Structure 1
Amino acid sequence: MGAALSSLLSTLLGGLTALLGAALDTLAAVLGNWLRGLAGLWGLGRLAWRERRGEGSLAGRVLPHLARPSGQRDLFAVLRAFWPTLKLSAALVKAYPNAGTAIVTRRADVLEVLRRDADFAVVYEPRMREITAGPNFFLGMQPGPDYERDATAMRLAVRHTDVPAFVAPRAAALAREIVAGAGGALDVPARLGGPVAADVIQTYFGLGPALGAPDRATMIAEATAMFWFLFNDLGADPEVGAKGRAAAASARKWLDAAIAARKASPGEGDSVLARLAALQKAGAPGLDDLSVRNNLIGLYIGAIPTLSKAATLALDELLDRPAELRAACNAAKAGDAETVAGHVWEALRFNPHNPVVYRRALRETRIARGTLRSRRIPEGAMVFAATHSAMFDSLDVPDAGQFRIDRPWETYIHWGEGLHRCFGAEINRAVIPAMLTPLLAQPNLRRTGPRVDGGTPFPQSLPVAFG
C-alpha cells in the first residue's frame, strides 16, 4: 500500500512539475512577445520623434520606413503584442470591392485565414477576366468543380518530377553560363533573375521563339506588367491598369499562335504545352484552346516576376550580412546545395517578396475562436494575412529574430498556404537557389550599388561584382 501511494504521489508530482514548467514557458513566451512589442513601439516612437521637424507631413516621412522590411517588423511586433488583428473602417484596397480592412498578424491566425477558403476568398477574378478577355483562371477561383477540373489538368502537365529532372538543372546551367560571361560584374534582376525565369517559360513550358513567342526581354516586361496589375495595384492606378491590359492583349495574341503551332506539330519535344495538346487530343475535360491559353497565361504571370524578385531580394539581404554571405558563398563553392538553400530562404524571410496575402471575407465570421484575441471579421472586409509577421511570431517560431538556416521548411510562408498556395512553389523552391549558386560561388562577391526598385513593386537593379 505504501509503495502504491508513493508511486501515485510521485506520478502526481511529476505531472504537476511538467504542468508548472509548461505554464512558466508559456508565460515567458507571452512576456517576451509583449517586450518585443514594446521594443517595436519604442523604435517607431523614436522614428516619429526624429522626423517631427522635417518637410511635409509626419506620416509622409514615416511611411517610407514602414515600407522597408525592418520597419514592417517593428510595426508587426507591436500589433502581435497588443492588437493581433487590427480592424480598420478604411478600405485600403481600391482595386477590388471591399468593406474595410482587417490586418492579421499572429502566425496561427494568418494560417487560419489562408486555409479557410470557404470564408476568405481570393478576389482576383475581375482582373483575371480582363487579362484573359473572358474566362477566369483557377488562381482566381473558389473551391468547386471548375477549380478542380482546371487545377487537375495543369497538374497532369506540370509535374513535380520535372523539377529535379529538368527545370532546376536547366536553371543552374543557364545561371553558370550567365555568370561566366559577365566579366566580373552583373545587374542581378536584369541579367540573371529575369533571364533565367524567362527561360523556364521558354524551355519548360514550351513557349519559345520557334512557336512565335517573344524574346526574353519582352516576356519579362509583359509578365511583370500583368503581375503588377493583378496583384500589386491595390490603389487602382490607371497607368498600371493600362500597361497590364496592353501586356495581356499582346500575350493572348502570341499564346494563341503558339498553341496553334504546337497542335500542328504535336510530336516535337516534351513540354508543358505539348502535354496539354496531347491531353486535349485525348479528350481531357476543360482543355479547349481557350482554356489552355488561360491556364498558360496564369502560370506565365506568376513565374517570371516571382522567381526574379525573390532571388534578388534574398541576395540583397545576404549582401547586408557579411558573415551569412561568407557562409553561403563557402557552401556554394563546396557544392553544398542544402546549406545554400537554407541561407536563401532565411534571407527571404527577412526580406520577403510578398509580406502580405489578401483575402475578402465572404460572410461575417470569427478568427482565433476560443482565444482572448478572437475577433469578428465583417462580411466584405479585406483581410491582410501578414505572412511576414507570421514568420517572425516568437510564440510559434523559435529565435524568430535570429538568422538560422536550420529551420523546418514549414516555418516559411513564402508561397502562401492552403488551396491557393502558389502553383509553382516547387519550381520556386528549386530554381531560386539554383540560379543564385553560381554567383555565390564567385570570389569576393560584393554589391557595387544599392538595390533600386524605381517606384515599382519589383527590383529593377542590384549591381554586384566579383573576382
Structure 2
Amino acid sequence: MAGAALGAAGRLAVRGARAYAGGAEGRAQRIAALLGATENQRLVFALLRAARPNLALQRKLIAAYENTGTVIVTRHADVTEVLERESDFAVVYEPKMRAITDGENFFLGMQDSPAYTRDVSNMRLAVRRSDVPEIVIPHVATQAEAIVAAAGGRIDVPATLTLPVLTGLLGQYFGTPGPSGPVMADWTTRMFWYLFVDLAGEEKVTRAALEAASACRAWLDAAIAARKAQPSGTDQVLDRCLALQAAGVPGMDDLGIRNNLIGLLIGLVPTLSKASVKALDTLLDRPEALAAAQAAARADDDAALAAVLWEALRFDPVNPFIYRRAVRETVIARGTLRARRVPAGAMVLVANLSAMFDPIAHDRPKEFRPGRGAEAYILWGYGMHTCFGAHINQAVIPQLLKPLLRRAGLRRAGPVDGAGTPFPVHFPVTFDAA
C-alpha cells in the first residue's frame, strides 16, 4: 500500500505540474479536469488509503446540504461500516426529495422508519423480481438488437441506443411513457442531477430540475387519473399500484403512487444510460477485456458478460463516492490506528471507488479480473439504501450492450461528450456492418 501511494504521488505530481504549467489562462479548468478524471481519482485514493485513510477537513466540500465539514473515508472496511450504520450516518436527500414531489419524501431520502418500510414493501409488490426475466430482459434485448441492426455500422450510444431503450421501458413496464421518450429522458436526468450530482447547489441546476419535476408531476397525476377512470387491462407497475390502492393498502393513495413512481423513474434512466456508456468506454480502452466481453456476448453467456461489465465499472463507476451526514459525534474504525472522530453534522464522503481498489480487501485490485466476488463491487450502494432497482440494473446493462458487443470491428468514433452536463449525451462508435 505504501509503495502504491508513492507511485501515485509521483504520477499526480507530474500531471499536476503539467496542468499548472500550461499558463494562467484556463489553469483552474485544467486542474478541475485533472481531478475529475477517474484515473486520477484512483491515484488520489491510493495516496489517501496509505497516508490519511479517514481524512477530516473543516472545509465544506458539499454546499448543497447543510453540514459542519467533511470526512473522506477510503478503506473498504470503513466505507462499508459507514454505510451500514444508518442510525449514525444519515441520508441527506429529504429536502430535495420534498422539492421534487412538492411535499412528500421518497424512501431513498428516509431513515429506517415505518414510512420507509411501508413504501419499500409496497413497491416491492409492484416491481417484482420475477418481472426481470419475464418482461424486462425480453423487452430490452429486442429493442437494443433492433436499434443496432438498423444503425448501419455507426451509432451514438446514449442518444440512439441506451436512452431510447430505457425510456421505452418506462412505457412498456412501468406504464409511464411520458409525453415522449426524449422528454422523459430530459426530466429524469435534470431531477437526478439536482438530487445526487449537484453538490454545489447551483441555481440553474435547481431551477431546471424543479421545472422538470413540476411537469413530470402534472403528467403522472393525469396518467394515474386516466388509468383509474379507464383501466387498460395491462399488468404494468402502475396497474399494480392501483390494485394495491383498491385493496386499501396504506401509502398507495394517488400522491403516494405518483411520488414513488417519480423516485423510481429518476433512478432508472440516467443511471443506467451512464453506467452502460462508462462500461463500454472502459472496455474500448482494454483490448483483452473487450475481446472477453465480445466472446461472452456472441456466446449469449449473460453471466460471463456481466462479470466483465462489472469489472469495467469497478474501474469507472457512475459515482466515485456516496455521501452521508453524521447524526451525532461518533468514531469510525474504532480500535484501529486509523480511527477518526467524526463531528456531528459532518458530511462523510465514503469513497466506493477507493474501497473497490483497497489491496487489504481485494486481491491485486489494479488488475482487470472479471469474476471477482460480489463483495468486490460497490456499484449500486451498500446497506439499507442499496439501489432499489439493483436487480433491474444488473439485468439491463448487459442486454443494452450485448448487440453492440456482438459486432466485429467495434471502435470509438469520438469521445464521450456530456454536452455541459454530468451525463453522457453523445458517444459515437462504429462497427463492421453486416
Q: Same fold (TM over 0.5)?
A: yes
The counterpart of 1:364, out of the listed 329, 341, 363, is 329
Query: Structure 1, residues 18-73: CA drift from partner, whole Å, max 9, x if none?
Result: xxxxxxxxxxxxxxx11111111111112233334222286653331121111000
Output the aligned Cα RMSD: 1.2
Taking the aligned partners of 1:186 and 1:402, their CA distance within structure 2 comes to: 30
Distance 2:75 2:360 in 1: 9
Structure 1 segment 174-253 matched on structure 2, within 5 A: 174-208=143-177, 213-253=178-218
Contact 2:159–2:426, Cα closer than 8 Å, also in 1: yes
1:413 paired residue among 378, 386, 396: 378
| SS at 1:51 equivalent | helix
The CA distance in 1 between the partners of 2:352 and 2:200, in whole Å, is 21
Extract unaligned runs of 5+ from structure 1: 1-32
Q: Equivalents in 2 of 1:131, 1:48: separation in Å?
A: 39
Cα distance in structure 2, aligned partners of 1:58 and 1:142: 42
What is the match of residue 234 of structure 2?
Answer: 269
408-417 vs 48-57, which deviates more? Answer: 48-57
State the match for 2:82 in structure 1: 113
- Judge which range, 402-411 or 216-225, deviates more: 402-411
In the alignment, the residues of structure 2 paired with residue 258 and residue 50 of structure 1 have an alpha-carbon distance, to the nearest angstrom, of 55
For these two proteins, the number of residue pairs brought into alignment is 431
Question: Counterpart in 2 of 1:19?
Answer: none
Larger radius of gyration: 1
Q: Which residue of 2 aligns with 1:27?
A: none
Partner of 1:54: 22
Note if contact 1:447-1:463 (Cα within 8 Å) is conserved in structure 2: yes
Q: How does 1:122-201 map to 2 (within 5 A)?
A: 122-201=91-170
d(CA) in 2 for partners of 1:451, 1:60: 18
Query: Does the alignment pair 1:381 with 2:349?
Result: no
Structure 2 residue 393 is the aligned partner of structure 1 residue 448: no
In structure 2, what is the Cα distance between the partners aligned to 1:169 and 1:448? 29
What SS is found at the alignment partner of 2:345?
coil
Distance 1:418 1:379 in 2: 21
Which of 242, 260, 280 does residue 315 from structure 1 map onto?
Answer: 280
Q: Percent identity?
A: 54
Q: Write the mapping of 1:47-86 to structure 2, written as runs, cut at 5 A.
A: 47-56=15-24, 60-86=29-55
Measure, in 1, the Cα distance between the counterparts of 2:309 and 2:111.
Answer: 32
Residue in 2 aligned with 1:40? Answer: 8
Which residue in 2 is equivalent to 1:335? 300
Moved more, 52-61 or 225-234: 52-61
Q: Match of 2:363, as an amino acid?
A: P
Give the drift of 1:266.
3.1
Structure 2: how far apart are the matches of 1:118 and 1:241?
Answer: 29
Query: Contact between 1:48 and 1:58, CA under 8 Å: does it hold in 2?
Result: no
Q: Is the 8 A contact 2:20 2:31 kept in 1?
A: no
Q: Give CA deviations for 1:198-243 in whole Å, capped at 9, x if unaligned.
A: 12211111113xxxx3110000000000000111111111111110
CA distance in 1, matches of 2:29, 2:254: 49
- Counterpart of 1:397 (choices 341, 355, 362) is 362
Measure the CA separation in 2 of the matches of 1:197 and 1:393.
33
TM-score, normalising length: structure 2: 0.97
Matched to 2:91, the amino acid is: V
- What is the rounded CA distance, in whole Å, between the counterparts of 1:128 and 1:203 in structure 2? 26
Structure 2 counterpart of 1:283: 248
Bigger Cα displacement from structure 2, 311-320 vs 51-60: 51-60
Aligned counterparts of 1:59 and 1:69: Cα–Cα separation in 2: 18
Match of 1:425 in 2: 390
| Residue aligned with 1:228, SS | helix
Bigger shift: residues 433-442 or 448-457: 448-457
Please say if residues 117 and 419 of structure 1, whose CA atoms lie closer than 8 Å, have aligned partners that are also in contact.
Answer: yes
Q: Which residue of the partner structure matches residue 7 of structure 1?
A: none
Structure-1 separation of matches of 2:28 and 2:181: 40
CA offset at residue 267 of structure 1? Answer: 5.2
Verify the 8 A CA contact 2:278 2:318 in the aligned structure 1: yes
Distance of 2:405 and 2:205 partners within structure 1: 35
Distance in 1 between residues matched to 2:273 and 2:162, nearest whole Å: 4
Amino acid at match of 2:326: A
3-state SS in 1 of match to 2:313: helix
Alpha carbons 1:47, 1:62 under 8 Å: kept: no
- Confirm whether residue 95 of structure 1 aligns to residue 64 of structure 2: yes
